[in-house]
Each structure stands twice: as structure tokens, then as C-alpha cells.
Amino acid sequence: MVESKEAYTVYKLLILLTTIILLSANLRAQEIVNTFHPEQPFHHKEQAIFSNQPVSWIVQSVENSYVIQQHSEDDTLFKNHYRDNELIVKLPDQELTFDKNSFGFDAAEFTITWVELESHNENTDELNFYVFINKPDTDWMIPINLFINFDGSTRFEFQDVDDDY
């Protein structure tokens, strides 16, 4: 009986040791490489006077908000973090903020990559911004005209894109 108890104990230890070896092989520390696009958060402010009214706009990274795409190669996990951006427009009487959700895009897949003031219509006091929304790591770039009136009303139009493919 003693031999079988000892044999059973050795058997349990062998199973435990085998389990530990298998788990350690599977749980080997996978190297993770994080990249950020752009590398650093940014904040860009411009201001102008339209119709004797001060107007400013800020394009900035949204803190801790990314579109993340990842893939593995060998024992390395690559995580690409594409920074989300927003547009803040400060009109004489109010402040408006626009992000990718303002235009109805999937928050997990798209990000605003570029914003530029295109024009100001003096007759209507309407600002026209070009906003570019992008799906990272693809050639999907959606240009949008964002129109903002000094009274705070807004509208946007998707631009037609010629597909040369």
C-alpha cells in the first residue's frame, strides 16, 4: 500500500510538473510593440476675424482615444494606435466640438486625420471647413465639407470622390 501511495504522489507531481511546463511554454512573455500615429499628441490653434467677429478653431488629439489595429508576427504583437482628433470652433457666442461621431462614423474604425478652413462666406457668415475622415491602414479617405454659421447652426456634405480604380 505504501508503494502505491508513493507512486500516486509521484504520478500527481509528474502531472503538476507537466502542466507547469506546458503553461510556461504557452504563457511565454509575448513581446508587444506599441506605435502611435502621429507619435505625439498635437494641438493646433488658429484664429481670425470674420465680419468683425473673432473666431478661432483648434484641431487636437483626443486624450486616450485611439483606433487600434493589431497583428502578430512570430512572438511579437504589434499594436498600432491611431490618435483620434477633434475640431473645436469658438464662435463669438458659443463653442462647438466635432469628432468622428459628429459625422456618423464607426468610432472603432475611423478617425479624423485632417481639418482645414477652406473659406468664409461674408454674405451668410458661414465658415466652410474641409474635414478628412480616414480608416487607418487603408486608402479609405472620406472628405467632408463642414459648414458652420455664426449663429451655431451646422451642416455637412460628403464630397464626391472619383474612384480611379
Indicate the pairing of strand 76-90 with strand 31-37: parallel
Give tens-digit pLDDT for 94-111: 999 999 999 998 888 999
Whether 124 is in a domain gets the answer yes
How many domains does the chain fold into? Answer: 1
Residue 7 in any domain: the answer is yes
Strand extents, DSSP E, the chain? 31-37, 43-50, 53-73, 76-90, 95-98, 111-121, 126-134, 141-149, 154-158
Residue 115 lies in a domain: yes
Which regions of the chain are under pLDDT 70? 1-3, 22-29, 162-165
Residue 165 falls inside a structural domain: no
Cis peptide before 136 (omega within 30 of 0): no
In a domain, 120, yes or no: yes
| Set of cell numbers at residue 109 | 474604425
Model's pTM, two decimal places? 0.76
* CATH number of the domain that residue 137 is part of: 2.40.128
Residue 89 is part of which domain span? 2-158
